[in-house]
Amino acid sequence: MAEEKRVQVTVVGSSNVDITARMDRLPGPGETVLADSYRLTPGGKGANQALAAQLAGARTEFVGALGQDEHSAIALAQLRQAGVLLDRVIRSSEPTGVAIISVDAQGENSIAVISGANSTVDGTAVRAAGPLHGVVVLQGEIPASGISAAIAAGTERIVLNLAPVIKLEPKDLVRADPLVVNEHEAFEVLEQLDARAATGLEGHYDHLAHALLEQGIASVVITLGGAGCLVAQRDGSGSVRLEKVPAPRVDAVDTTGAGDAFTGALAAQLANGKNLAQAATFATRFAAYTVQHPGAQASYPRDLSQPQETGSARTQE
């Protein structure tokens, strides 16, 4: 029997069932809007990223937690079908996490997340899982202690997508290589590291990237929605190098999960030996494909020849 391919990417994170309602426009505060339809689909930033990494060509394992309820059967269905390793997914007494997503006619969304079993992916649970192999991918939908333990257990590169932004120790933040954030998240992370350094930089993504590197983070990728992303790292001489990666122009239908698609595809490319700029270029195209189709995991390309440039652009940060 041929030896099984080694794990190249390990994603430690959240798994949810997405309850997605489609409507003409998103409601304002205190307002009720009638939705056209709803559906239950698998989601969660961790599970989304694991699926994206597997589909983008890396042997991937997902480490997380589910409840013992009817939603658990939905949560990992697409990961299982794609071949993601699930041996270290635990069953919790807490319910399976749920995300309530509203999507308007232009493809914009608002999301509320109920953590449920994801709240049990803490330091104790992650340490019990043992060593984490390959590129380790993390997000902000599990407890900070779980992220810290995963960083300590990682055997190779750490990709930290701190979304949403939660409080982490500086020693954990500076292990990111890269830190993957949007402009707003970049500012919040910099505030954690040095509030004075962040003063006046909100909205200035290039200065934010430079400042994050100055704080000791090895590399940074700031996602810019339809404008693509900014890759920031030091070159061989130690000088900061900023490189803008444009996004393909596509007609957006639903931006749900596009940021997760980007992060998972980025990690897969890094695991397969691409440099950060090359990985970001691929990930940008991968994410741009997803916004042309409804849903999160269901929108991810199953054939890597699918992502292509069409129409006008708007992808999720």
Residue numbers annotated as active site: 260
Q: Taking a C-beta distance cutoff of 8 angstroms, is the pair 270, 158 a contact?
A: no
CA neighbor of 212 nearest in space, from 199, 193, 184, 229: 193
Question: What is the DSSP code string of 19-46?
Answer: EEEE-SS---TT-----SEEEEEEE-HH
User: Could you tell me if 230 and 206 are in contact, meaning their C-beta atoms sit under 8 angstroms apart?
Assistant: yes
Residue whose structure tokens are 């990111």: 176
* Element spanning 276, H or E: helix 276-290
Q: In what order do the strands lie in the sheet with 109-114?
A: 37-43, 16-22, 97-103, 109-114
If you write DSSP's letter for every residue of 79-100 in order, what string do you get? HHHHT-B-TTPEE-SSPPEEEE
Quote the tokens at residue 93: 């007494």
Measured between alpha carbons, how far is 236 from 28 in angstroms, rounded to an integer?
50
Do 176 and 159 form a contact (C-beta atoms < 8 A)?
yes
The structure tokens listed for 49 are 């990223």
Alpha carbon distance 263, 38 (integer Å) = 27
Sign of CA dihedral 56, 59, 65, 67: positive
- Give the list of residues 6+ apart from residue 60 with CB closer than 8 angstroms, or none: 7, 8, 9, 10, 11, 50, 53, 54, 84, 85, 268
Tell me the C-alpha to C-alpha distance, in Å, between residue 59 and each of 13, 86, 130, 303. Answer: 17, 12, 18, 16
